[in-house]
């Protein structure tokens, strides 16, 4: 008997497979197609011949952990103890999975804000807990009245994603005021803050949960070097949590992966000495602006994108098809792959919206935009 009877092949796999089958330009899956920084690949090439290939300590390579603590201080003015409040993970998804398995018990409830990343719900179900899916407003702002009604004495955790995938929205100061008010009524709720796109923001920087004193003792923050450094295939990220929560998270982590691959930890530790995290937002903002300019004469209506490397677009002026059908036909008939937004909702809410990934080189964006503008 399946523990996840309703889980099927992910929409990302479906669309990427179709893109290959029809030789379409793949703007569906969220990974860059441009080269990695040569400074990083040079570090890896040198390290490959050095003694860096055995287990690191379970929680992470100590010099890397110290540099993550330094990065956290410079980014958010938060001082963390790398020995007790930090864990290097095999990607952000493993950090999310491990956190939920460690902290959520049978019959607990976990509030998930839709549209949501598809890796949130499965670990909740594996804990024999109940995912409570709450839809954001149509403009993708949180509906705090609706969220509060979804909470109860059974609510163990709430997952927030900021900057938000798939919509590109970021939370406001008022959202954190509303969150604080809610948590005062439910003092046992833990916040899992997925901030993997934390350094990919544009006109306004995102507000990290790490900057809010009321969250520091009850929040687990998840980050991703894969997203920040265009190295998604390395599958390396980290989690930050107060010691009493991190102790439980580490218990699961040590039996799930024990330690993360060593050479990536050594390489990123060195790379953090030379890379400027503040340039990342500017880099992707240029790509966002260029992609939007390329599509300005198309029939797609582009929605605001405040962060991430995803652009949501409405095709309502083009077709009345549901978004899954539209995306399949977009591949078959027009040679471009995108992701239907309805698949991020528990009820498959269809607003005629799709998601493009613009973390691509200019040639790919130009080629895709030409096809899209002809529809």
How many domains, in total, are found in the chain? 2
Considering the domain architecture, whether residues 333 and 198 belong to the same structural domain is answered as no
- Please determine, for residue 9, whether its predicted confidence score (pLDDT) is greater than 80: no
Q: 350 is in which domain, residue-wise?
A: 11-36+278-373
Cβ-contact 85, 243 below 8 angstroms: yes
Per-residue pLDDT reduced to its tens digit, 214-247 = 999 999 999 999 999 999 999 999 999 999 999 9
Residue 6 lies in a domain: no
User: Tell me, what CATH number does 246's domain have?
Assistant: 3.40.640.10
Q: Establish if 170 belongs to a structural domain.
A: yes
Q: Do 284 and 261 belong to one domain?
A: no
**Which whole number is the average pLDDT over 160-171?**
96
Listed range (12-16, 51-55, 115-119) with the worst mean pLDDT: 12-16
CATH number for 18? 3.90.1150.10
* pTM assigned to the model: 0.95
In this structure, the answer to whether residues 178 and 327 fall within a common structural domain is: no
Q: How far is 334 from 375, CA to CA, in rounded Å?
A: 8
Mean pLDDT of the chain: 96
Domain boundary among 242, 271, 300: 271
In a domain, 3, yes or no: no
**Is pLDDT above 80 for 8?**
no
Distance of CA 114 to the CA centre of its chain: 14
| 3-state class (DSSP) for residue 302 | strand
Based on the domain organization, do 212 and 242 belong to the same domain? yes
Same domain? 230 vs 146:
yes
Rounded distance between C-alpha atoms, residue 375 and residue 372, angstroms: 6
Read off the pLDDT of residues 92-106 as tens digits, 9 standing for 90 and up: 999 999 999 999 999
* Cβ neighbours for 300, distance < 8 A, ≥ 6 positions apart: 313, 314, 315, 317, 318, 372, 375
């Amino acid at each position: 008997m399946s523990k996840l009877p309703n889980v099927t092949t992910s929409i990302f796999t479906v669309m990427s497979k179709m893109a290959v089958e029809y030789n379409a330009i793949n703007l569906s899956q969220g990974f860059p197609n441009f080269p990695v920084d040569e400074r990083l690949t040079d570090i890896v090439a040198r390290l490959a011949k050095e003694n860096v290939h055995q287990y690191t300590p379970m929680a992470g390579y100590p010099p890397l952990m110290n540099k993550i603590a330094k990065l956290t201080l410079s980014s958010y003015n938060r001082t963390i103890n790398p020995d007790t409040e930090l864990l290097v993970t095999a990607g952000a998804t493993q950090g999310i999975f491990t956190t939920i398995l460690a902290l959520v018990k049978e019959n607990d409830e976990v509030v998930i804000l839709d549209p949501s990343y598809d890796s949130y719900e499965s670990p909740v179900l594996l804990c024999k807990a109940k995912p409570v899916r709450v839809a954001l407003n149509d403009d993708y702002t949180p509906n705090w009245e609706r969220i509060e009604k979804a909470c109860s004495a059974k609510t163990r955790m709430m997952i927030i994603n900021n900057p938000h995938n798939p919509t590109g929205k970021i939370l406001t100061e008022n959202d954190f005021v509303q969150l604080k008010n809610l948590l005062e009524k439910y003092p046992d709720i833990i916040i899992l803050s997925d901030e993997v796109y934390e350094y990919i923001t544009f006109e306004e920087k995102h507000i990290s949960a790490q900057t809010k004193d009321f969250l520091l003792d009850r929040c687990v923050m998840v980050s991703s070097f894969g997203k920040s450094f265009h190295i998604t295939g390395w599958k390396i990220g980290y989690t930050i949590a107060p010691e009493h929560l991190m102790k439980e998270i580490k218990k699961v982590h040590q039996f799930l992966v024990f330690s993360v691959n060593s050479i990536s930890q050594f390489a990123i530790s060195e790379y953090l000495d030379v890379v400027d995290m503040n340039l990342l937002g500017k880099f992707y903002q240029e790509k966002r602006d260029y992609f939007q300019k390329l599509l300005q004469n198309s029939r797609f209506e582009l929605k605001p994108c405040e962060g991430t490397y995803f652009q949501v677009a409405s095709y309502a002026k083009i077709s009345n098809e549901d978004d899954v059908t539209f995306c399949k036909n977009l591949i078959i008939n027009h040679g471009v792959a995108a992701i239907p937004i309805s698949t991020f909702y528990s009820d498959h809410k269809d607003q005629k919206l799709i998601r493009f990934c613009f973390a691509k080189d200019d040639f790919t964006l130009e080629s895709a935009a030409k096809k899209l503008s002809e529809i």
